[in-house]
Amino acid sequence: MRTLLLDGHPRAGALSSHLLDIYQAGLPGVTDRVALADLAFAETAIRSYAAVPEWEPDLADLWQRIWAADHLVLAFPLWWGDTPARLSGLFERLFLPQRAFAYHRDDPWWERGLAGRSADLLITMDTPPLWLRLAWRAPIVHRMRHQVLGFVGFKPVRAFLFGPTRRGGAERNLPRWEARVARAAQSAPGLRRGARHAALQDP
């Protein structure tokens, strides 16, 4: 199994990065790692899909790494109920029509260009995870599982929620969180992935 770890925190060295360290230590096979903080790209460059700008070198390189991966591990903080703006911008720039997905001409469905890959989400937050699920029904999990990663073919998409991080929560709970991340890494090779599709365009 080839795994890509993507640190989706805009700042290097955050809790997201530490959780990825733990995940990476428990992984068999080949691992690759990229940090959002190290990528140079314009996250607001798209105004219309009718005129999509060329990828910067870092985006072209990241696409190749995603294409080569069997499993994606994405770690990020929950900010205002969503991914950080720069991470959302990365999805906009990277998951393009006719490359990451392609609508059918004669029905409402679409081809998922990244089918055959699984993903794990490591989401840190100030909100208690139980409250996020019971009171708000964890919209970030539904969005990522169905409208972002699932939309382009990642399946299954598992979500691991870590919080609250404030008022010493991260320090008190870190050993338990680390153990949970290690278990996720150990179980990742056993995930059932579907068949890969041919590239919609040359990857």
Does residue 199 fall inside a structural domain? no
| Confidence (pTM) | 0.95
Tell me the pLDDT of the chain averaged across its residues.
Answer: 95
- Longest distance between any two alpha carbons in the chain, whole Å: 55
pLDDT at 198 > cutoff 90: no
Does residue 107 fall inside a structural domain? yes
* CATH number of residue 123's parent domain: 3.40.50.360
What is the pLDDT confidence band of residue 29, given thresholds at 50, 70 and 90?
A: confident
pLDDT per position as a tens digit, 80-130: 999 999 999 999 999 999 999 999 999 999 999 999 999 999 999 999 999
Residue predicted with more confidence, 48 or 121: 121
d(CA 122, CA 101): 24
pLDDT at 203 > cutoff 80: no
Mean pLDDT confidence for 176-190: 97
- Residue 202 is predicted with a pLDDT of 56
d(CA 63, CA 54): 13
Number of folded domains that form the chain:
1
Q: Which helix (H) or strand (E) holds 168?
A: none
Assess contact for 128 and 166: CB atoms under 8 A: no
Does residue 44 fall inside a structural domain? yes
d(CA 78, CA 167): 16
Instruction: From 154, 83, 82, select the one nearest 120 (Cα to Cα).
Output: 154
Does residue 201 fall inside a structural domain? no
Mean pLDDT confidence for 190-194: 95
Q: Which helix (H) or strand (E) holds 182?
A: helix 169-187
Assess contact for 42 and 75: CB atoms under 8 A: no
Does residue 202 fall inside a structural domain? no
Does residue 31 fall inside a structural domain? yes
d(CA 122, CA 139): 15
Residue range(s) defining the domain that contains residue 161 = 2-190
